Amino acid sequence: MYEELIDRLSRTGALSAEEYLVLIQNRESVREALAERARTARERFYGNRIYIRGLIEFTNYCKNNCYYCGIRAGNTAAERYRLSPEEITGAADTGYDLGFRTFVLQGGEDPFYTDEMLADIVRTIKTRHPDCAVTLSLGERDFESYRRLREAGADRYLLRHETANPAHYATLHPAAMRFENRLRCIRDLKSLGFQVGIGFMVGSPGQTDRDLADELLFLKEMQPHMVGIGPFLPHQNTPFRGEAAGSAELTCFLLSLIRLTLPSVLLPATTALGTADPLGREKGIMAGANVLMPNLSPVSVRKKYLLYDGKICTGEEAAQCIECLKNRVRKTGCEIVVAKGDHPDRAD
Ligand code: 5AD
Ligand code: FES
């Protein structure tokens, strides 16, 4: 009965919002058929290769106050830390030896790190490891700042839009944060030649199935190189502490829809997915994901970068996580590879 929709999505990468909604609302009946098509689409571009990105969470200071996020400025219980430039580049060196060829520098919006400091860190990593990509995930900045970071050699930028519905956006963030500015940032980043990652939380408070259907249209329109999604998970020291968590099952279903909508997109099975379900990352890969982003931050700070409660892998050494992940990935029939893992449109 849903065969025609699944077939058309697989062939054309596009459905109407109403059609996406039908699939989302009947996901029990279509999940496996969709996941199978999603795996086939992934294989066409990536074979059975899974890319890894070393995540360096270098500051948990943040000037913003997103209602969902554990490192929001208003959380006075958070123990704040900043890594020095040497600690950041050192984490990348460690990661290189473990087989990482992409480093993701992620932090809260922390004005302590000036453009100059960040550009220096990017240049150092790119000089020491010219065969690697540097991805930044530093939130909203002005065009000139993005331009300097790009000039310093940064290759990619992750900036989730969180929700494609501006009214919904306004219920997840204080008035100082504007959906329009998010879009401006994403456009600036694209125009500067970054490979750009956007994304949203699944099951954030107030999100409807129709919103999710609209997310797929938004992704199609924006044509990102990467899409990061994960279930919303409550954090005890945020206004959303009492809200229900998003589900791993729905997240995986959306991963399949995203894979079929943007077949060549780089699509991580995220840490939040692995937190919502102990087998979440494996299930994400079985649903069509092709990227994992293990933590490379020093173990001493890992418990402090808590965006949500219960985050996994906060006690493990980087070397332990990568071994653990290799075993987990093998069980899905895929294989972690030592590769930069550019988007096919950008591969050298
Ligand atoms: N639950 C799930 N994901 C969250 N993020 C922030 N807070 C939470 C939470 N409580 C996600 C946001 C952000 C990314 C870095 O982490 O989507 O963009
Ligand atoms: Fe960190 Fe399994 S990935 S312990």
Write out the DSSP string of 43-72. HHHHTTEEEE-EEEEEE---S---TT-TT-
pLDDT recorded at residue 200? 99
Using 50, 70 and 90 to split pLDDT, how confident is the model at 347? confident
Euclidean distance between CA atoms 336 and 328, whole angstroms: 10
pLDDT digits (tens, 9 = 90+) for 213-270: 999 999 999 999 999 999 999 999 999 999 999 999 999 999 999 999 999 999 999 9
Distance from the alpha carbon of residue 284 to the mean position of ligand 2, in angstroms: 15
Average pLDDT, the chain: 98
How remote is the CA of residue 299 from the centroid of ligand 2, in Å?
13
Mean pLDDT, to the nearest integer, of 53-59? 98
Which amino acid residue places its CA nearest to atom 14 of ligand 1?
Answer: 160
pTM: 0.98
Q: Do the beta carbons of residue 200 and residue 162 sit within 8 Å?
A: yes
Quote the longest CA-to-CA distance of the chain: 58
The protein residue with its alpha carbon nearest to ligand 2, atom 1, reads 321
Q: Which atom of ligand 2 is nearest to the CA of 294?
A: 3
Of 53, 57, 60, 68, the one to substitute when testing ligand 1's pocket (max ligand atoms within 8 A of C-beta) is 68
Ligand 2 nearest atom to the CA of residue 312, by list position: 1
Number of H helices, E strands in the chain: 14, 9
Whether 348 has a pLDDT exceeding 80, the answer reads: no
User: Quick one: average pLDDT of 86-107?
Assistant: 98
Per-residue model confidence (pLDDT) at position 23? 98
Residue 295 gets which letter from DSSP?
Answer: B
Position 172 scores a pLDDT of: 99
73 CA distance to ligand 1 centroid (A)?
Answer: 14
Cα 186 to averaged position of ligand 1 atoms, centre (Å): 17
* pLDDT of amino acid 142: 98
* pLDDT average, residue stretch 287-295: 98
CB atoms within 10 A of CB 256: 31
CA-proximal residue: ligand 1, atom 6 (nearest): 69
Nearest CA to ligand 1 atom 7: 69
Interval between CA 207 and ligand 1 midpoint (Å): 15
Ligand 2 atom closest to the Cα of residue 328 is 2
Give the number of the atom of ligand 2 that is nearest the alpha carbon of residue 295: 1
Nearest residue by C-alpha to atom 3 in ligand 2: 321
pLDDT per residue over 153-208, tens digit each? Answer: 999 999 999 999 999 999 999 999 999 999 999 999 999 999 999 999 999 999 99
Per-residue confidence (pLDDT) for residue 294, from 0 to 100: 97
Long-range contact list for 173-178, CB < 8 A, 24+ apart? Answer: 173/64, 173/65, 173/66, 173/67, 174/64, 174/65, 174/66, 174/67, 176/64, 176/65, 177/64, 177/66
**Which backbone phi and psi does 253 adopt, to 5 degrees?**
-60, -40
Q: Is 292 in the pocket of ligand 2 (CB under 6 A)?
A: no
Ligand 2 site, residue 296, Cβ cutoff 6 A: no
Give the atom of ligand 1 at the shortest distance from the alpha carbon of 307. Answer: 7
Q: What's the 308 CA to ligand 2 centre distance in angstroms?
A: 17
Residue 1 has pLDDT above 90, yes or no: no
